[in-house]
Structure 1
Amino acid sequence: MKEILVSLPYFGPISQFKELVNPLKVWVEKEDNFQKQTYRNRIYIYGANGKLSLNIPIKHLPKTKVKVHQKYSEVKIDNDDKWQSVHWKSLKSAYQTSPFFEFYEDELSPLFRKEYLTLYEFNRDCLETVLECLQVDLDFEYTSEYNKQPEKIADHRNLINAKSRISLPEYIQVFQEKHGFISNLCILDLLFNEGPNAVAFLKTM
């Protein structure tokens, strides 16, 4: 059985779910450090004006003379600015006319009503909810220690990097006629546009 190692993003880009849909053992990284410019606290969706970034605000550690790395699993969310309401309204605005938004709305909306203290806990629930929506039953576990160069396992943790440009096959998107196809958006873009066909699409990529 093929084993892979992935990071835990905010929902995650389509390129990561491409690696998750085949029968395999999945290890989800829990012990890494938090890094900026990654999908750990941001997603890209397709809005009426094109590609739109939604970011989860986090509480940063106090600045010190010595750079301190913060463990991802310990990063706390800054809930003062009511980001969940903003993100859900943005998702509804972008996808309420898509073929399958209403089909998954009741499963996803509770994620934006429950207050989470840590980014890790929220992202964990996002992953598990999307897997349920996709009806993908994975054998996965969370890591207990950080291994920079794991052996005998396919390391896909680099897919957490939001700066990477990855070209993927096209599918029909809500605002495609306005701005063209936008590749490798958040998995929700594929889910809302392709619905139950999303897994079959991922497996052919």
Structure 2
Amino acid sequence: MDIICSSWNMGKSMKSDITVCIHQPNFLPWIGFIHKVFLSDVFVILDDVMFSKQDYQNRNTILTANGPLQLSVPVKSNPERRYINNIEISYQTNWRKKHLESIYYSYKKASYFQPFYERLEHIYDSDFVRLYDLNVAIIKCILDYLKINTKIVLSSNLGSATGKTMRLVDICEKLGASNYIYGGTADYMDRTLFYQKQINLISQNFNHPTYSQMHSISFVSCLSIVDWIFQHPAEHIVSYLESERGKLSIDNQKYSSLVQ
């Protein structure tokens, strides 16, 4: 996987067959997050938007013998008033020890535990100041482990326009993208702004995979992808992702039908 790009070729104006996805840097991201990154040529980390305590930027869930357990990274006060890339981690409690112990005792008997745990342990041993740096290190670790080579760009380095939809469109234009992958519904976007710039909207259309889990008879979904990584070979995960690539299709609502 390419390292974090400090900038992009701003002189690039011609559109090419590039697919972009844009997302905040989540902590120990779930499968749907990695799924979207895999389907893209360029992943834009949305680091210069407001931090949300209600989102997954500092928390996610693993599966223990006693059921799902949420792991949270404490942050310094008033985080909701700052951009994600300015949020600082609090070390008033030994949350790193708690996280590693929870992960270790939950997955130590898993077939593929040791190789990835050692990488994760190394990240936890680092004294990150900002939450953003911790999250990006973990995301890069996962992508490297799965040999996913999607390029990574920071939104803060692109100097994009403001406005929910216009900013997304502007980022796509600056990257020379012809396709934008969105998750969930597109209700939050003004589709016409994409079609006016001849940028195709592509639904991620994520269907959660199932796999055998150590601590549950009935499958537990929406966990951190580490739950899958520890219990199954990387090749199985990549094979699933490869099969998903062929399911992508441009939205049925075409440019000509939306733009007068």
Instruction: Give the whole-Å Cα distance in 2 for the aligned partners of 1:171 and 1:157.
Output: 22
Gaps of 5+ in 1: 63-67, 159-165
Residue 174 (structure 1) aligned with residue 214 (structure 2): yes
CA contact (8 A) 2:31 2:223 kept: yes
Deviation at 1:98, TM superposition (A): 1.1
Q: Which has the larger radius of gyration?
A: 2
Aligned match for 1:2, one of 6, 10, 19? 19
Q: Map 1:44-193 onto structure 2 (within 5 A).
A: 44-61=61-78, 69-144=81-156, 145=159, 147=162, 148-149=164-165, 150-151=168-169, 153-156=180-183, 168-177=208-217, 180-193=218-231
CA contact (8 A) 1:167 1:183 kept: no
CA contact (8 A) 2:21 2:40 kept: no
Task: Calculate the TM-score normalised by the size of structure 2.
Answer: 0.68
Instruction: Give the whole-Å Cα distance in 1 for the aligned partners of 2:59 and 2:237.
Output: 21
Residue 201 (structure 1) aligned with residue 246 (structure 2): no
SS of the residue corresponding to residue 20 of structure 1 reads helix
Q: How high is the sequence identity, in percent, across the aligned residues?
A: 21
CA contact (8 A) 2:20 2:40 kept: no
CA RMSD of the aligned region, Å?
A: 2.1
* CA displacement 1:159-189 (0-9 Å, x = unmatched): xxxxxxx861210111123xx2111210111
Match of 2:14 in 1: none
Deviation at 1:111, TM superposition (A): 1.2
| Amino acid aligned to 2:241 | L
Residues 21, 77 of structure 1: alpha-carbon distance in 2 compared, 3 angstrom cutoff:
same
Runs of 4+ residues deviating >6 angstroms:
none
Instruction: Give the whole-Å Cα distance in 2 for the aligned partners of 1:136 and 1:167.
Output: 20
Instruction: Give the whole-Å Cα distance in 1 for the aligned partners of 2:73 and 2:59.
Output: 6
* CA displacement 1:11-38 (0-9 Å, x = unmatched): 2111111112235221111111110121
| Amino acid aligned to 1:14 | I
Gaps of 5+ in 2: 1-17, 173-179, 186-205, 245-260
SS of the residue corresponding to residue 97 of structure 1 reads coil
Instruction: Give the whole-Å Cα distance in 2 for the aligned partners of 1:29 and 1:193.
Output: 30
Match of 2:59 in 1: 42
Instruction: Give the whole-Å Cα distance in 2 for the aligned partners of 1:133 and 1:173.
Output: 20
| Amino acid aligned to 1:204 | S
